[in-house]
Structure 1
Amino acid sequence: MKKLLVTGASGFLGYNLCQYAQQNWQVYGTFYSHQININNVKSVKVDVTNFIDLQEIFNEIKPDAGIHLAAASKPNYCQNNPEDAYKINVTASLNIAQLCADLNIPCVFTSTDLVFDGLNSPYKETDLVSPISYYGEQKVKAEQGMLEIYPKTVICRMPLMFGIPSPYGESFIQFFLKTFREGKALSLFTDEYRTPVSGLTAAKGLLLALETLEGDILHLGGKERVSRYEFGCLMAEIFDFSQDLITPCLQKDVTMSAPRSPDTSLDSSKAFKLGYNTLSIKEELEQLKGKI
């Protein structure tokens, strides 16, 4: 089996990707502080911001492909800790690009829908980036820097994701479920829109990109544009909780460290034409019922 190196294996998306990819790849998943155990996946401790350490891992494993997921992905953290976030979001990404270039292997990088300001959705791959937070800005710098260093890099812009959590990385619906199960009120935005997919669907999209593209940008959003409030109501219905627990609120009324884009819905028709298959949000949630 060919060797796939996945950075950030202990995070939410990394956990889902490693489990799915190991069906057809010998997967090596990197971690820094939280090692996870997944059948048939080899854990590798490394500081991806340290080029020498990372180079040693590449030389030892000699991967046939790489998918770079490791990131400081919480916008508020990045806004409050821009220098630390830059090291993981930009420096590490450029390191990965250089090492994949040295081996001339396929390289996929996960960016974000938050490279857009949310004023002109749905966004295609050809639309100009317009980040309004440090997180979005750092992802743009990583996108551009990686393509400059290694033009064969594939940039995958990811939407809001949900699903089965890793032991160290949850998706946003874990908080929703906890709140529902405790019978507490859940306030959700009616004015923030995304095109969500499950972690499993996203993992399938990343491998599709790895296997079919070279030197390109791909959006891996879902087919439905929904608000947090709409998502929460659908989730309550499927998981048999009262929708009375959900209170609508406005994003613009909540003060946060990082500015929030109102609508970063992605146009993923390019991915759909490649064979990226996304279920409806209702179908995704129904499949998750009983598993989370």
Structure 2
Amino acid sequence: MKILITGSNGFLGSNLVSYFMKKNRYEIYCTSRNPLKVRNSNTIYGDLREISFVKNLFEQIKPDVVINTVSLVDLDLCEENPSLAYDLTVKTGRNIAQCASEYNSRLAYISTDHLFDGNKSMYTEKEKTNPVNQYGKMKFEAENVSCKYNEDTIVIRTNFFGWSHINHPDTFGEWVYKSLKSKKAINLFTDYYFTPIEVTYLAEAIEKAIEKDITGVLNIVGSQRCSKYEFGMKLADLAGMDKSLINPCSLNDGIMTLKTKRQQDLSMSSEKYKALFGHSLPDLNENILRFLGNKDR
């Protein structure tokens, strides 16, 4: 099976490249605008905003599956420059979906949990979307164009953490770990909820999803809802670090100022995944233990 991974220089893309390259049954191809942080000989450089490049990419590879991780993930920059966010998220998504359809390639579009207003918890795949910022709006539009232009599309909504490759900015889990390791006090929200999944667990679940050949929306997230504060406390506990370094705070108390509006509850249900595959996705304890175990890999 030929798999094309787009955005392979990003946090998720680079982790997916590393994961699938270890599997002998896949032929992995990557695309990026810049030199890869993960070594791979099957790399084609170019700009996915250019339809001519995307057409040549598909003609050259003829992939069986495309995993599209491309988007502008900087929430503040999405607000400041929505046209750039559109080009990097929606336009690239449309180009990829159109070409995937032409070449009969299955498409897995990696989406987000920033699609709802946050007024309830554990959103299912059937919930009505109501994003509160440009990032969420662009991701939802990219979901729609992916499904519109390629019927054989699975949209994967997720929230992940893990270890970055060299020269990549720290993700949330890394920032918490490194702060506590260096004895630095941090503030974490007690009222900002999510359902995080460790990135290698996510990669395993994506592999199952593309092999099962299902379409539509699928949440792949941790099975346990937690606040950012609870995440930090659990990480400190399992890593044997000083929990007193973590200061609880609220989104509403002004201790930490966020430029871009965020919903208070990003949590999503993974019951559909459980019904499809016959097992639950990992809980918070399992996710953080996997994160700690992968530190030096």
Specify the TM-score bucket, using the shorter chain as the normaliser: over 0.9
TM-score normalised according to structure 2 size: 0.92
SS in 2 for 1:113: coil
Structure 2 counterpart of 1:195, one-letter code: T
Which AA in structure 2 matches 1:152?
A: D
In the TM superposition, what is the alpha-carbon distance from 1:288 to its structure 2 partner? 3.1
Q: Distance in 2 between matches of 1:149 and 1:97?
A: 5
Structure 1 unaligned residues grouped into runs of 5+: none
Letter in 2 for 1:274: L
Contact 1:201 1:277 in 2 (8 A): no
Q: Which of 88-97 and 214-223 deviates more? A: 214-223
Q: How far apart, in 1, do the equivalents of 2:275 and 2:35 lie?
A: 37
Determine the structure 2 residue equivalent to 1:216: 216
- C-alpha distance 290-198 of structure 1, shift in aligned 2 (>3 A): closer
Q: How far did residue 55 of structure 1 move?
A: 1.3
* Equivalent residues of 2:15, 2:199 under 8 A apart: yes
Q: 1:11 to 1:277 in 2, by over 3 A?
A: farther
| Alpha-carbon offset, residue 192 of structure 1 | 0.4
TM-score norm. by structure 1 comes to 0.93
Measure the CA separation in 2 of the matches of 1:181 and 1:291.
16
Code of the residue aligned with 1:20 in structure 2: it is: Y
Distance 1:291 1:201 in 2: 11
Task: Work out the CA distance in 2 between the residues paired with 1:273 and 1:290.
Answer: 28
Residue of structure 2 equivalent to 1:166: 165
CA-to-partner distance for each residue in 1:139-163, whole Å, 9 max, x for gaps? 111111221112221111112x111
Alpha-carbon RMSD: 1.7
Runs of 4+ in structure 1 deviating by more than 4 angstroms, as ranges, are none
Residue 15 of structure 1 is matched in structure 2 by 14
Q: State how far apart, in whole Å, the 1-side matches of 2:229 and 2:210 are.
A: 34
Aligned to 2:42: 42
The aligned residue for residue 229 of structure 2 is 229
**Residue type at the aligned position of 2:11:** F
CA deviations 1:71-130 (Å, max 9, x no partner) are 111212211221111111100000110010001111010111101111122111111111
Match of 1:287 among 286, 290, 294: 290
Distance, in Å, in 1 between the alignment partners of 2:212 and 2:175 is 35
Aligned to 2:119: 119
**Aligned residue number for residue 74 of structure 1:** 74
Which SS does the other structure have where 1:218 is aligned? strand
Q: Displacement of 1:222 after TM fit?
A: 1.1
- Separation in 1 of the partners of 2:192 and 2:41? 37
In 2, the alpha carbon distance for the partners of 1:25 and 1:175 equals: 33
* Secondary structure of residue in 1 paired with 2:42: strand
Aligned residue pair count: 289
Assess if the C-alpha contact under 8 Å between 1:192 and 1:228 holds in 2: yes
Query: Could you list the per-position Cα deviations for residues 150-193 of structure 1 after superposition, in whole angstroms to 9, with x for gaps in the alignment?
Result: 2221111112x111212225421111122112211110000000
Amino acid at match of 1:32: R
Contact preservation (8 Å) 2:47, 2:53: yes
Residue in structure 1 matched with residue 188 of structure 2 by the alignment: 188
Q: How many percent identity over aligned positions?
A: 30
Q: Which SS does the other structure have where 2:259 is aligned? A: coil
Q: 1:41 to 1:205 in 2, by over 3 A?
A: farther
State the distance in 2 between where 1:155 and 1:289 align.
28
Aligned counterpart in structure 2 of residue 268 of structure 1, from 267, 270, 274? 270
Describe the superposition over 1:20-60 as per-residue Cα deviations: whole angstroms up to 9, x where unpaired. 2220311112121241234x662221211111112111111
Q: Distance in 2 between matches of 1:93 and 1:102?
A: 14
Aligned partners of 1:41, 1:181: CA distance in 2, in Å?
Answer: 36
Long gaps (5+) in structure 2: none
- Counterpart CA distance in 1 for 2:170 and 2:102 is 34
Greater shift in the superposed pair: 144-153 or 65-74: 144-153
SS at match of 1:118: coil
Matches within 5 A, 1:79-118: 79-118=79-118
How far apart are 1:280 and its partner, in Å?
A: 2.5
Distance in 2, Cα, partners of 1:169 & 1:198: 17
CA distance in 2, matches of 1:112, 1:8: 15
SS of aligned partner of 2:180:
helix
One-letter identity of the residue aligned with 1:82: P
* Separation of aligned partners in 1, 2:275 and 2:227: 26
Q: 1:16 to 1:283 in 2, by over 3 A?
A: same
